[in-house]
Structure 1
Amino acid sequence: MGLIEGLFGGDHSRGRGNKGHGSAEEKAGMAIPPLSPTAASVVRRCARIAGVPVDQLLRRFDTEEQGGRPLEYARSVVEYCSCIALRVETKRQDYLGDREFHSLTYDLMLAWEAPDEETDAVFQKTAFSILRDDADDDDGGSIFYSSPTQMAIQVDGRRTVGPEAFAKIAPSCPAMAHPITVSNLFDALTNSTGGRLHFLIYHKYLKSLDQVLSSAKRISDGHKAPAIQLSDGEVILDIHGAATPKPVLQHIGTSTWPGRLTLTNHALYFEAIGVDFSYGEAAVYDLARDLKQLVKRESTGPWGAHLFDKAVMYKSSSTSEPVFFEFPQFKGHTRRDYWFAVIKEVLHTHKFIRKYMLTNFQKAEALSVAALGILRYRTVKEGFHILPAHFKTTLAFNLAEKLPKGDKILEALYGELQQHCSRFRGSEDFAQSSSDELTLADPFPLSAYTMVRMGLLALKEEDNTEERDFTARDVQIGGTSSVQMALERSFGYSGRVEAARATLDQVKVEDIDTNVAVLKELLFPLIEIGKVLLAFAEWEDQLNSYVFLFCFLYMVYSGWIWFMFPGFLLGSSLFMLWHKHYVKGQLIGAFEVTTPRRRTVQQLLALQEAISQLEAHVQAGNIFLLKLRSLMLAAFPQSTSKVAAALVVMAAAFAFLPLRSIILLVVLEAYTRQMPVRKKSSEKLVRRLREWWLRIPAAPVQLLRPQDTRRWRPRLRSRQAI
């Protein structure tokens, strides 16, 4: 037990978490039907925290609202009382580090999950059977072969929390979770515990979160803060490279400079390290303005070589060339992935602000949601060594950008933000609240006020005037919010996307020969059709060529040619519907491809040959354009006159002849070149055109060397300049 208490802080039931349970006689005397003893105990604790009688807390739920099922009513009572208690508890700055707060919130989740006696009995029985099975599985095993976390969980032996309870209670404290990412946060915390949240894991998460927030608070107060000029409302979110042995490497062109990288909710700051190990003036890369910023993962290395996949590339309309920030790491690239995610989160947040033109408090709230999300993301990374990505990320705006129909989530978030802010504008109906409603001097739980209470943000006076009393009307009990409904729809589509992505991973091949072989097999029908048409055009079988030519000319003359494309689309749709009706969702058979047998050296030689052919085609294209430039600028006057006359004739043809006649003439000229009657004259004409083209000179080209950037020095730039 000494090891367990040293890791997780001992028994969680001490302090306030044990005060509210009392004896069996007390529970029986103070029962609250239809609440279970656990839920009734939690309600009484919430009443003591709020400083009001229990009956006043329950007065909001009248007879009409009690008409539903007992389970729904009991959960509504627990949820409402939880919101009231958490408003009071979160007014303290150190509540995240308080073990009693951890126990209280965990008990709130347990009470919400099993609020009535019937559900509570089922969960108690399930928890006992799971604990007994775990004990049976560990018989005969050595304690030294089990992780300290799993051992502590088994010794703790308390009931666990499910995802629905965590999603209902945790967002009531904005520092703990946000409604958009609360499910992903739960998955990250329970990825090794079978989808159930144990108290020791929950306690470790809040303890780590408190440490991260305290670190951010010390930096905002000036302790170990970089010497950069911050604007109003700008908060430092993270710093990397402060330790000299692990600096961030900035690559611009062929120049490389070590330094320190600072991320705020408005910009990136890079301070280069000088010869005397002091930091120079900071270069500012603005993330708030619409500068067409592009941020992506990149590989970098010495002199611009793409060797190490550990960098983030930043480019905007105000930078002359891309800037690469490399995060050296001996193994893996988790640091780069973390910084890439948090930088994208700030960019997506300001994109959301610009899209809905948020100002004042609404803008501060959006930035606070992003800031707290980044701090939680950092907590999960440092405390649990997990870096959720893609659809499992715990960054709200990143998740909304990645999810299918994520714009609907942001639209719902904006609607709720408008609704919350409208409640803050002091209206007469809130000032005239009846005595039957509970009134506490505390604003609605928004992320901006959480940042203010923790000392990370200072709101302006006009924003502070929007604070008002919190009333019972502000609590949404039961039901599903618009953000949650948008999330459910998006996650439904994301499941299909993940399934489709899994099929992509199965069919991806690496070497170029195999990819070419797969491409040829997929295009086999089109290749065969092309071969047949080419055989017709070369007049290998004159009868078939004549039949094809007359049929095609008749289709053009009669106007049927215009129905070919609609007919192709209609036939494709009928083919798909036929397969849908008869196949009925069965799996498609594997597409068989015979891979070429080549050794590694042969593949390298084939790749070199392909590159040489590509270079030759590019050179031929450049020569064609340069000769065309000579003709346009009359560098060869006689040829220019002939080309101009030909263009005049073509213009007259397009002006006076119908399009059908032009198509007929073009098809006849191209298709009958290899006819026995026209073959000799066609070859002679092509030869003369080739000789004429070879006589045309190419326009001159002058190659200039790029400017040398090796003498680049970082200097202070205003946010308007970068």
Structure 2
Amino acid sequence: MAVAGKTGNLLERLVREGSFKWLLGKSSYFDEEFEEMRNSPSAGSNWIHELSPIANIVVRRCSKTLGISSSELQEGFDQEASDSIKQPLRFARNFLEYCCFRALALSAQVSGHLPDKMFRRLTYDMMIAWEIPDAADRPLINVDEDISVGLEAFCRIAPAVPIIANVIISENIFDVLSASTGGRLKFSVYDKYLSGLERAIRKMRSNSDSSLLSALRSSRGEKILEVDGTVTTQPVLEHVGLSAWPGRLILTDHALYFEALLVVKYDKPKKYDLADDLKQVIKPEMTGRLGTRLFDKAVFYNSASLSEPVVMEFPEFKGHARRDYWLAIIQEILFVHKFINKYNIKGVARNEVLLKAVLGVLRLQAIQDISSAIPKEFKALLMFNLCDQLPGGDLILESFANMSNLRDLDCSSDSRAGSVMNSISALDMVPNLGFVFGTSTNTSKESRLAVGEISVGEMTSLEKEVKESKSNYKKVESAKATVDGVKVDGIDTNLAVMKELLYPIDELGKSLKSLAYWDDPWKSLGLCLVFIYIISRGWIGYAVALMLLFLSAFMIMTRYFSQGRPVEGVKVIAPPPMNTMEQLLAVQNAITHGEQLVKYGNVILLKLRGLFLSIFPQATEKFAFALVATALVLALLPSKYIVLVVFLEIFTRYSPPRKATTERRSRRLQEWWFSIPAAPFVLERDNDDKKRN
């Protein structure tokens, strides 16, 4: 009793001195709990002096959830945690995580936990306490209305409840939720997000329990994730060839279905399987009337099972957000099945992985439901889409696959004998949200925790891969920003930029050409003798290595001497401005020039065909003799002598002694080439072109 009275006096003094004023100002919702703690007979034993006041409150709530005292929680932590986690400097936050993860693992197994206001407030207060866990921490907020949480706290606590977030996309979810509140997450926004999740779950449960595609879905127990095209003013158009038909599009966790709209009912659904390995291709597409490419509002789908690709159009008056949303969720289901097939994931682990993708779609629907500003990038909020974009995303999925396979072996196994406490699995939580998904594990409602994505006091391999990948992604985005900054419009301007950038190479080419044409005989002779010596001694590899070392040394010296200095931009003299007609003429000239190059290429190929088919026997005989001579030289002479002969032939052909002979030989070679007739060809029209006409 003396200890309890002492602790109660301590709490009373802290309130009186203002240490809790940041919480108690303007009638904080913590008032009642502080008063209860102050008057509790067990206040002394349940107050942990290393924790901050808010951390003590959160630990007290966790102990109530688990049905044990705070001191018993501390004893459990001391027994289960490793020495590195129990270090004094890390004790407060690690112990808080231990209490939070244990409480959340149990709370998430209670039916109706997501709509529960107490559960929502508990998870949010855990984030607040995570930011200021230690007794020595100074709060960053003044009054109750200013309470908010930051990115690190959200990314640490939210993934402990699989429906709220996961390790891979938690940062992107936080960015969307806190976009309107200056990068800090308010409880009002967080509460709306969870309400949106609840509505998305009810919608999926209602669709899956309905008669939609019941006969087709029953064999695999497919869950309906999204339906579109039911409103006559916003149909979905299916394009096959030049025909288009309105209808209803349905996405499940295994396939995509389209039901064409007839007069009073829907036609038999067409199934586009996403689960089997059919070499599917899904990408954005442009469409329009009669096959014209006008509107960027469609999704292209093709697979090995289709005779021709299918295009799903999502008409809307402005933008293509509707199409982008559908493209993202279709690709998410396709990517998750590719992941399952690649790593041969089966059983419980397969259900767990597939559920990750389903929960990602539900989160995206929840964010769309509560946010007036639709996210610009839907794929960033979907786990498998994001891994497809991130540098090293394959490593993230590989690490995730290893974790999933561990669940299939033994949910309770832990190589470190319980020294690391993990979060609850998604499958164990789903039945308590009101629907069944696959086969769940027999997780009891004790304090045992299933294998998950986070662990107390340290980063898992998955978290490390995600952190490194996102760090690299920021570098890639920074590089893309510089690329976007140097893009200019206009053919003439781009050609001027290219000419300036290629100036050093152009000058080097001119110097080499001058040496090859022996404009300065002494320089050319000296270079020729040096190369003859290098080739004859077999030092070509050493010469190339020396050039690479010189280039590397130049780059390192440039970096060293220019460190801290701004990079000078390349100065380009802008060409005179061109009007629209001049730009069109420039484009036409470029197209004409390209067409001429293609024609010359075709002529060369047809002449070679004529040589091989002996259309002109005299030319074919000479060509065959040249090939035989080349083959004998390659077979009989050592390689270094061949290189030496080729070098002397190329480099000395315009030297004073050989110049006249070279010109005469070049003329004879051109005459021989021009005398070769081109092989004939017949141009036929394809049947598809006739049909289109």
* Secondary structure of 2:237 counterpart: strand
Q: Residues 291 and 317 of structure 1 are in contact (CA less than 8 Å); yes or no, is this contact kept in structure 2?
A: yes
| Counterpart residue number, 2:430 | 451
Pairwise mapping of residues 555-566 of structure 1 onto structure 2 (< 5 A)? 555-566=534-545
Q: Structure 1 residues 388 and 356, CA, compared in 2 at 3 Å: closer, same or farther?
A: farther
Is 1:81 the counterpart of 2:99? The answer is yes
| 1:401 match | 388
Query: Counterpart of 1:624?
Result: 604
Aligned-pair distance for 1:562? 4.2
Q: Are 2:90 and 1:103 aligned?
A: no
AA aligned opposite 1:368: L
Q: Measure how far apart 1:568 and its partner are.
A: 2.0
Q: Is the 8 A contact 1:255 1:710 kept in 2?
A: no
**Which of 254, 268, 282 is the matching residue for 1:266?**
254
Instruction: Decide whether the 8 Å contact of 1:160 with 1:199 is kept in 2.
Output: yes
Structure 2 residue 327 is matched with structure 1 residue 340: yes
- What amino acid is aligned across from residue 324 of structure 2 in structure 1? D
Identify if the C-alpha distance between structure 1 residues 352 and 684 changes in structure 2 by more than 3 Å, giving closer, same or farther. Answer: same
Q: Which moved more, 1:56-65 or 1:529-538?
A: 56-65
CA contact (8 A) 1:21 1:27 kept: no
Residue type of the alignment partner of 2:386: L
8 Å contact kept, 1:254–1:709:
no
How far apart in 2 are the matches of 1:68 and 1:659? Answer: 69
Q: 1:117–1:548: structure 2 CA closer, same or farther, 3 Å change rule?
A: closer
Matched letter for residue 483 of structure 2: L
Contact 2:287 2:313 in 1 (8 A): yes
1:454–1:529 Cα change, 3 Å: same
By how many angstroms is 1:590 displaced?
1.1
Aligned residue in 1 for 2:21: none
Match of 2:22 in 1: none
What is the CA–CA distance in structure 2 between the aligned matches of 1:444 and 1:543, rounded to whole Å?
Answer: 79
SS in 2 for 1:350: helix
Residue 210 of structure 1: aligned partner: 198
CA distance in 1, matches of 2:378, 2:531: 52
Q: Which one of 567, 574, 577 corresponds to residue 556 of structure 2? A: 577
| Partner amino acid, structure 2, of 1:641 | E
Q: Tell me whether 225-234 or 210-219 shows the greater mean CA deviation.
A: 225-234
494-503 vs 472-481, which deviates more? 472-481
Q: How does 1:6-405 map to 2 (within 5 A)?
A: 22-23=35-36, 25-26=38-39, 30=43, 31-34=46-49, 35-53=51-69, 55-62=71-78, 68=86, 72-119=90-137, 122-123=138-139, 126-128=140-142, 157-222=145-210, 228-229=216-217, 231-274=219-262, 276=263, 278-385=265-372, 393-405=380-392
Moved more, 355-364 or 662-671: 662-671
Partner of 2:566: 587
- CA deviations on 1:312-370 (whole Å, 9 max, x unpaired) are 33344444554433322322222232223223322332232233221111111111111
Please tell me the residue identity of whatever aligns with 1:127.
Answer: I
2:588 aligned partner: 608
Q: 1:621: Cα distance to partner?
A: 1.2
Does the residue aligned with 1:197 lie in a helix, a strand or coil?
coil
Identify the residue that residue 483 of structure 2 maps to in structure 1.
504
1:533 CA drift (Å): 2.7
Q: How many residues are matched? A: 655
Letter in 1 for 2:492: D
Q: Which residue does 1:529 correspond to in 2?
A: 508
Once the two structures are superposed, what CA deviation does each residue of 1:466-486 show, in whole Å capped at 9, x if it has no partner? Answer: 545644465943222222222
- CA distance in 2 between partners of 1:696 and 1:543 (Å): 41
Q: Partner residue of 2:620? A: 640
Asked whether the 8 Å contact 1:219–1:225 carries over to 2, the reply is: no
Q: 2:107 and 2:519 mapped to 1: Cα distance?
A: 90
Describe the SS at the equivalent of 1:424: coil
Matched position secondary structure for 1:570: helix
- Report the more deviating stretch, 547-556 or 341-350: 547-556
Q: Percent identity?
A: 41
Q: Is contact 1:184-1:392 (8 Å) kept?
A: no
- Secondary structure of the residue that 1:192 maps to in structure 2? helix
Q: Do 1:27 and 1:41's aligned partners in 2 also have CA atoms closer than 8 Å?
A: no
Bigger CA drift: 698-707 or 184-193? Answer: 698-707
How far, CA to CA, are the matches of 2:516 and 2:131 in structure 1?
76
Please give the alpha-carbon distance, in whole angstroms, between the structure 2 residues aligned to 1:280 and 1:324. Answer: 18
Counterpart AA for 2:109: K
Give the secondary structure class of the aligned counterpart of 1:341.
helix
Gaps of 5+ in 2: 1-25
Letter in 1 for 2:461: S
Q: Could you tell me how far apart the structure 2 residues matched to 1:165 and 1:392 are?
A: 23
**Where do 1:430-469 residues align within 5 Å?**
445-460=424-439, 464=441, 466-468=442-444
Q: 1:303 Cα shift?
A: 3.9
1:699 pairs with 2:687: no
Match of 2:457 in 1: 478
Maintained 8 Å contact 1:216/1:456: no
Q: Which amino acid aligns with 1:451?
A: V
Q: Which moved more, 1:549-558 or 1:170-179?
A: 549-558
Note the aligned Cα RMSD (angstroms): 3.8
C-alpha contact (below 8 Å) 1:181/1:394 kept by paired residues:
yes
Task: Spell out, residue by residue over 1:182-213, the C-alpha distance to the aligned partner (whole angstroms, 9 max, x if none).
Answer: 22211211112122211111111111111111
Q: Distance in 1 between matches of 2:282 and 2:347?
A: 27
Greater mean deviation of Cα atoms: 330-339 or 701-710: 701-710
Question: 19-28 or 325-334, which moves further after superposition?
Answer: 19-28
TM-score, length of structure 1 as denominator length: 0.80
SS in 1 for 2:246: strand
Partners in 1 of 2:398 and 2:231 — Cα distance?
42
In the alignment, the residues of structure 1 paired with residue 89 and residue 379 of structure 2 have an alpha-carbon distance, to the nearest angstrom, of 31
- For the 8 Å contact 1:311–1:326, the answer to whether it is kept is yes
Q: Is 1:651 the counterpart of 2:639 in the alignment?
A: no
**TM-score for the superposition, normalised by structure 2:** 0.83
What letter matches 1:369 in structure 2?
K
2: CA distance, partners of 1:261 / 1:678: 76
Quick one: distance in 2 between partners of 1:404 and 1:207? 33
Change (3 A) 1:481 1:425: closer
Q: What residue ranges of structure 1 are gaps of 5+ in the alignment?
A: 1-12, 132-155, 438-442, 713-722
State the Cα deviation string for residues 420-469 of structure 1 (Å, max 9, x = none). 44443799x99xx9xxx9xxxxx972122333433444424xx55x5456
Deviation string for 1:209-233 (max 9, x for gaps)?
1111111111111166687546425
Which of residues 424, 429, 432 is equivalent to 2:411?
A: 424
Change in 2 beyond 3 A, CA 1:272/1:685: farther
